[in-house]
Structure formats: structure tokens, C-alpha cells
Amino acid sequence: MKTNVTEIFGENVFDDATMRERLPKETYRELRKTIIQGLPLNRKIANAVAHAMKVWAIEKGATHYTHWFQPMNGITAEKHDSFINPDGPGKVIMSFEGKELIKGEPDASSFPNGGLRTTFEARGYTAWDPTSNAFIKEGVLCIPTAFCSYTGHALDKKTPLLRSMDAITKQALRIVHLFGNDDVHKINTTVGAEQEYFLIDKEYYSQRRDLKYTGRTLFGAMCPKGQEMEDHYFGTIQPRVKAFMDELNVELWKLGIMAKTQHNECAPGQFEIAPIFTTTNLATDQNQLTMEIIQRLAKKHGMVALLHEKPFEYVNGSGKHNNWSLSTDTGINLFEPGDTPYENLQFLVFLAAIVKAVDDHQDLLRLSVATAGNDHRLGADEAPPAILSIFTGEDLAAVIEAIIKDEDYDSKDKAFMNIGSDVLPNLPIDATDRNRTSPFAFTGNKFEFRMPGSSQSIAGINMILNTTIADALEQFANYLEGADDFDSAVHKLLQNTFKKHSRIIFNGNGYSDEWVEEAKRRGLLNLPSAVDALPYMKAEENIQLFEHAHVLTREEAVSRYEILMEEYVKLLNIEACTMVSITRKEILPAVMKYQKELTDSALAKMQLLGKDAGIYEVEILKKGQALLDQAYLASEKLSEAKDVLKQFDTIEDKANYVKETIVPLMDELRVPCDELEVITATTAWPFPTYGKLLYGL
């Protein structure tokens, strides 16, 4: 198949070019204005846009439309309506009006709302977000929307994200204006999300109830080969996977998603795809679509894509690197060290804001990635620890050091820098300076937040990033706007900020035990479990931060906390139930059947050869019997614990019980079951083993 990429790119998107081509000039101009200025859409324009959209969509084979939104459970939701309307007896016309474009009313009572909306006032509405283009997916015109309750509360992940983008834009603008960049009118947050995933054969998947119900293997002994040979990472992509990736790229390109990089990841069967970065809300929509299309196309190719953070014990799990930056409407990346002293000074102010934000808001950044799935990664030797820190690289670290000590900075080329004077040279920042173990790394012209889990929506993550950094920028702007002598105020601000917050900078090995100790000495937060982190969402100072930035109301913040905690409890409860069921219905019966074979064999041999025969069978039987009993008792304990869970009233008590009691009991059950697998014939084991799952493509 030959693909003309430039031709197909964006062909399923009602994008700017399409709008310009298909809308009356005046309508197009009005629509652009409403998009750029964020104004509400008037009915006349909406009707014209809806009409053009419908004609375009029908030409592309669409029969339905949907308001495509992102409820708080982190997936995307859609309810399809066809364009048909009655037109005389037995006849229909295809219609789509402005009001249907602007607003939808899904019966939304079964989406999580964390107490924001009781079921009797179930109605919420969806509203078109014209900053994200409509697109066609599977014959359906999808209109990206925000989802709110009639009382005005955000019931989705998109609305707060858009608000947080406004919040940071506002504060960042103040800073660039202070530096005399009056030509800048808008600042965008940009994101590029690298997505990791596993692929396994569909046949094997269908035989594993743990994968089907929970997305990860709850049992499984390690196969003889893991990732120790390091032969999968960046290795040749095998034909079956390559065919899948080729089709994935085409689908994404058609949707205007700039799929750019693809490669094998560390673990066997693990892969990554990365797009070119774009505005945050688009990047969020696109990442949701990417995850969805990965899953759909994998099936088409006889595989299943696992997006879970830790589908397999013993090999790396999957993350999602959130590359983040700020750029102006004049095309300047604010985290690109500049060519002039003043640009560099501005860069340092933005850098200082990040340092302050990450230090001040370790709790929020940690909780932005707190999920049951991610608990398996953070703190293991494959992902950053559950402790926030920033990697600056040696060059920037030296600059910061010089600022703190008020010394001239002696750069590699021996030029001197004295902050606040005109002799600031180019900052010699070596972007190849990489540290893969840092949760928050400066990578030359952007920051890479490496803690997010692979299945997470990046909406909440960026909502928190934007809000916390907006907070730091606001404090800076307040201070600098009030200063008499701007240059010396900047100098003082940088020095004080770096002095106060440099404990958050760490350029060493984040995976080491020494860092955990060192971080403790520095007084940094270490929150190993989601249950430790999530309660910070409703800490008074955090609620006030969100309210002040107009990102979340108190009720919205608390509802998000409740939903995340409930999700944690529900997920682990499902995992526990699945484990008990698989043990009782699959593992124990399979082992008993195998034991019967061993017993028959041993008895037959003894009869033939005397009572010393059958040593092997007898030994395996003894070992197996001990493990069988152990597994049985552990499954009973876990089952009882699940019943105890029902007795707790508050979500805090439930979550803590899950973390303290249920999770350890799950580990306790897995051990004898995995040992049984090792001493049982593969043909007798009830489901495919790690060897097949990891190497069975």
C-alpha cells in the first residue's frame, strides 16, 4: 500500500482549511474570531457551520453525529444520533442544526460525578469546544465538547483543562510583557505525549480472565527470558507489528494527528508512539484518540493492546511522558534559552517558576499521576520514584548555583554572566544531557514529566501542571510589576527563588536508594501509594489554589478526589475478586487434575517397579500439595477481606483498608499460585503463561 501522507493528512478533520473552503467568507471570519477570542457562538453562525459540517460529513460517508466528551473516568464518551429527520410520509432528510452543534443533552446519570449531581437531576449538557476541530471516526461526525451539569459544574476533564490554560496564559503574558514583548497577545501551553503500550496475541488474551477483567496479569511466573538482554528496545519491528503500526499511522494522520516516532520499548512486546506536540487541549484529545485507535486496530490485526501501567510483573510497565512547554503567538518557545541577555533573563524567570511550582506543589503533581495501576511503577526500578524532583542538567545547575552564590557564571566558553547586567552570554545548554530517571526533566527547550501512567488521560495532569505553574508566575508577576528597578528585582527574585527551592533540583540517579534517603533529608514528600497522595486534592490550600485560578470550584475539587478514590477501591476490588475466582475455578482444579495424573503414574510405577519408584512424581506431589493448601488458604483470606471491605462507610476507610490489607493479601495469594505454575506441566496449566504472552506475537 502506497500512502501519500500529505494528501491524507487531516482528511477526516473539519479543520481550518476545510472551514475556509466550505464556509461563507463572513461566517468563516466570525467563527475564527469566536475561536481566537473564546467568545460564545451566535446561532446564525452556528447554523451555517453546522450545515457545512453536515454536508462535509455526509460526503465522507457519515450517517451519525455525536458530542464527543471526556467524563471524569478518564475515557471518552459518545452517544450517536443519526442525521435523519422525517420529511413527509415514509421519507427522511438529513439535517443537523446549529443548536445540535452547540449543545447536546446526554442522559448522563451514569457517569461518575463524585456527588456533584444526584440522579434525580441527572441532566447535564455538552457544549462544543470550537478550539478543537470536529472529526469523523467510524462513520460518525464527532464534535469535541465540554460536559457540564445544569448547575454549572464541570463534569468532565476538559472544562478544567481549558480553564487552566486560561489561567497560565494570563500569568505568563504578564511576565513576557514585563520583558517588553508587547507583540505577544496569547500564550499557549504545548504538549507532546509519548504513549507506551504492549501488544499480545488475541488468542492468548482471550484465555486470560485477569487480562480481560483488569487489564493486567494477576498471576504468572517469569519465563526464562525477560528484558535482561536489552535486545527489544529500538530493535527491528517485526512484520506483524509493523503492519499494525503502518495502519495506525495512516488512521492517525487522517485525523490530523502528527504521529511521528514509533519504536520497540524495553520490555518484550512493548512499543511506543509519539506525536509532534501541539496545543494542550488538542494534544489531550489526540492522545485519547490515539489510545482508542491503538486498541481498535490491534484487534483488527489479531492482537490486543494493553494500555495498563503494569500488565506484567518482572518486566517494565508502561508510562506516558508528558512533554510540556509554553509558546507565544509570535512563535517563541519560552523554555528555549535565548540569543540575547534579556531573552535569557526571561528564560531564567520561567525556569525559576517551574522550580518553585514543582517544589511548592509536590503533593498536587504527585496526585496528578496517582492511580492503582501507576502504584506498580512509581518507585520501582523502571519509573521515577514517587518523589518529585527536577533534573536541570549540569549546565543549568551551574547557572543556578552561580545565581544563588551571586557569583559570575563561568561557562564552558569562558564568557561571563552577571544576572541583571547586560553581559549575559548565550546559555550553553547541552540538550543531549539526559537523565531518564528524573520525574521532571528539562530537555533543552521543554520539560518532560515522566510520572504519568500509560492509561491515564493527560487532561488532569496538565490541568494541575498549568495551575501550579500559573501560581508561581502570578506571584512573580505581582512582585515584578511592583518593583522600581526591574533589573535588580529580577536578580533578587531569581536568587531568592533558587535559594529557597533548589532542594527540588536533583541531577543524580532517581532510581537509587540513596536518593530516597537524600530526599527525606531535604524534606521532600514521598507518597508511595495513590491512597497517600489523593487526599491532598481536598487539602484546604489546594482547594483555594484551584478556586483562585478559576480552574476548579471547591465542589469540583472534592468531587474529583472522591471519584479517584472510588476508582482505586473499585479497581482493586475487581482485581481481588478476579484473583479469588481464578484460583478457585481454574488454578486449584487444574493442579488437582495434574496431581491425579502424577498419582496414577507413581502408583503404576510402584506396582511395576517396587515402592522406591516414582520419586519424581512423589516429590512434585508433596511440593504441590503444600502449595495447593497455601493457595487455598490465601484465597479464603482474600475472599473474607473483600467482605470486610463492604462494612466501611467512608471512602477513606475503604481505600486505606484496600491498601493496607487487600493488596498484601493479593500478593500473598499470587506467590503459591506462581510457584505451582513452575512445577506444573505447561499443557496442564489452565491459561497461557508469560512466555506465550510476551513472546507469542
Name the site residues for Mg ion (rule: CB under 5 A).
Answer: 321
Q: Please say which residue, 276 or 603, places its beta carbon nearer to ligand ADP.
A: 276
Q: Does 384 bind ligand ADP (CB under 6 A)?
A: no
Q: Please say which residue, 157 or 446, places its beta carbon nearer to Mg ion.
A: 446
| Strand pairing category for 92-94 and 440-442 | unpaired
Give, in degrees to the nearest 5, the angle at Cα 8 between 194 and 296. 50
Q: How far apart are CA 415 and CA 633, in angstroms?
A: 71
Place of cell 536508594: 513
| CA-to-CA separations, 335 to 295, 328, 622, in angstroms, rounded | 34, 11, 64
The kind and range of the H/E element at 200 are strand 187-201
Of 322-330, 472-480, 648-656, 678-686, which segment contacts ligand ADP by CB under 6 A?
322-330
Q: Taking the complex as a whole, how short is the minimal distance between the CB of residue 325 and ligand ADP, in angstroms?
A: 3
Of 13-21, 36-44, 87-95, 442-450, which segment contacts ligand ADP by CB under 6 A?
442-450
Q: Taking the complex as a whole, how short is the minimal distance between the CB of residue 15 and ligand ADP, in angstroms?
A: 19
Q: Taking the complex as a whole, how short is the minimal distance between the CB of residue 513 and ligand ADP, in angstroms?
A: 26
Q: Does 262 bind ligand ADP (CB under 6 A)?
A: no
Spatial CB neighbours of 349, under 8 Å, sequence gap ≥ 6: 175, 179, 476, 490, 493, 494
| DSSP 8-state symbol, 647 | T
Q: How far apart are CA 697 and CA 694, in angstroms?
A: 8
Q: Does 290 bind ligand ADP (CB under 6 A)?
A: no
AA identity, residue 276: I
Q: Does 276 bind ligand ADP (CB under 6 A)?
A: yes
Q: Does 275 bind ligand ADP (CB under 6 A)?
A: yes
Half-sphere exposure of 586 (CA within 13 A, CB side): 17
Q: Please say which residue, 66 or 456, places its beta carbon nearer to Mg ion.
A: 456
| DSSP 8-state symbol, 486 | H
| Strand pairing category for 140-149 and 64-68 | parallel
Q: Please say which residue, 358 or 419, places its beta carbon nearer to ligand ADP.
A: 358
Of 82-90, 142-150, 188-196, 410-418, which segment contacts ligand ADP by CB under 6 A?
188-196
Distance of CA 556 to the CA centre of its chain: 20
The kind and range of the H/E element at 466 are helix 458-481
Q: Does 323 bind ligand ADP (CB under 6 A)?
A: yes
Spatial CB neighbours of 616, under 8 Å, sequence gap ≥ 6: none
Q: Please say which residue, 194 or 674, places its beta carbon nearer to Mg ion.
A: 194
Applying the rule CB under 6 A, the residues between 82 and 141 that interact with ligand ADP are none
Place of cell 498484601: 664
Q: Which of 162, 167, 176, 191 binds ligand ADP (CB under 6 A)?
A: 191
Cβ–Cβ under 8 Å, residues 216 and 310: yes
Q: Please say which residue, 321 or 376, places its beta carbon nearer to Mg ion.
A: 321
Q: Does 515 bind ligand ADP (CB under 6 A)?
A: no
Return the C-alpha cell found at 633: 488458604
Q: Which of 71, 114, 192, 385 binds ligand ADP (CB under 6 A)?
A: 192
Q: Which of 162, 199, 274, 666 binds ligand ADP (CB under 6 A)?
A: 274
Q: Please say which residue, 321 or 560, places its beta carbon nearer to Mg ion.
A: 321
Spatial CB neighbours of 329, under 8 Å, sequence gap ≥ 6: 184, 185, 186, 187, 188
Q: Please say which residue, 26 or 339, places its beta carbon nearer to ligand ADP.
A: 339
Q: Please say which residue, 181 or 526, places its beta carbon nearer to ligand ADP.
A: 181
Could you say which of Mg ion, ligand ADP, none residue 670 binds, taking C-beta under 5 to 8 angstroms by partner kind? none
Q: Which of 117, 216, 320, 446 binds ligand ADP (CB under 6 A)?
A: 446
Q: Taking the complex as a whole, how short is the minimal distance between the CB of residue 498 and ligand ADP, in angstroms?
A: 23
AA identity, residue 108: A
Q: Please say which residue, 66 or 270, places its beta carbon nearer to ligand ADP.
A: 270
Give, in degrees to the nearest 5, the angle at Cα 669 between 667 and 670. 65
Q: Does 256 bind ligand ADP (CB under 6 A)?
A: no
In this structure, how many other beta carbons lie within 10 angstroms of the beta carbon of residue 518? 16
Q: Taking the complex as a whole, how short is the minimal distance between the CB of residue 442 and Mg ion, in angstroms?
A: 12
How many residues contact ligand ADP, by CB under 6 A?
A: 16
Could you say which of Mg ion, ligand ADP, none residue 276 binds, taking C-beta under 5 to 8 angstroms by partner kind? ligand ADP
Distance of CA 684 to the CA centre of its chain: 39
Q: Taking the complex as a whole, how short is the minimal distance between the CB of residue 189 and ligand ADP, in angstroms?
A: 8
Q: Is 199 helix (H, G, I), strand (E, B) or coil?
A: strand
Distance of CA 161 to the CA centre of its chain: 14
Q: How far apart are CA 673 and CA 632, in angstroms?
A: 9
Cβ–Cβ under 8 Å, residues 543 and 557: yes
Q: How far apart are CA 326 and CA 583, in angstroms?
A: 51
Q: Please say which residue, 328 or 435, places its beta carbon nearer to Mg ion.
A: 435
Q: How far apart are CA 491 and CA 494, in angstroms?
A: 5
Q: Please say which residue, 266 or 417, places its beta carbon nearer to ligand ADP.
A: 266
Q: Which of 325, 389, 529, 542 binds ligand ADP (CB under 6 A)?
A: 325
Cβ–Cβ under 8 Å, residues 379 and 528: yes
Applying the rule CB under 6 A, the residues between 329 and 358 that interact with ligand ADP are 333
Could you say which of ligand ADP, Mg ion, none residue 92 binds, taking C-beta under 5 to 8 angstroms by partner kind? none
Q: Taking the complex as a whole, how short is the minimal distance between the CB of residue 569 and Mg ion, in angstroms?
A: 33
In this structure, how many other beta carbons lie within 10 angstroms of the beta carbon of residue 219? 24
Q: Taking the complex as a whole, how short is the minimal distance between the CB of residue 388 and ligand ADP, in angstroms?
A: 19
Sign, Cα dihedral of 549, 332, 460, 293:
positive
Applying the rule CB under 6 A, the residues between 194 and 233 that interact with ligand ADP are 194
Q: Please say which residue, 465 or 477, places its beta carbon nearer to ligand ADP.
A: 465
Q: Taking the complex as a whole, how short is the minimal distance between the CB of residue 257 and ligand ADP, in angstroms?
A: 11
Could you say which of Mg ion, ligand ADP, none residue 192 binds, taking C-beta under 5 to 8 angstroms by partner kind? ligand ADP
Residue number closest to ligand ADP, CB atom: 192
Among the residues of 554-614, which ranges form H helices?
Answer: 554-582, 588-609
Q: How far apart are CA 584 and CA 589, in angstroms?
A: 7
Cβ–Cβ under 8 Å, residues 67 and 106: yes
Q: Please say which residue, 137 or 321, places its beta carbon nearer to Mg ion.
A: 321
Could you say which of Mg ion, ligand ADP, none residue 654 binds, taking C-beta under 5 to 8 angstroms by partner kind? none
In this structure, how many other beta carbons lie within 10 angstroms of the beta carbon of residue 314? 13
Q: Which of 277, 312, 442, 561 binds ligand ADP (CB under 6 A)?
A: 277
Q: Please say which residue, 262 or 333, places its beta carbon nearer to ligand ADP.
A: 333
Cβ–Cβ under 8 Å, residues 290 and 257: yes
Q: Does 190 bind ligand ADP (CB under 6 A)?
A: yes
Q: Taking the complex as a whole, how short is the minimal distance between the CB of residue 357 and Mg ion, in angstroms?
A: 21
Chain residues in the site for ligand ADP (CB under 6 A): 190-192, 194, 261, 274-277, 323-325, 333, 445-446, 448
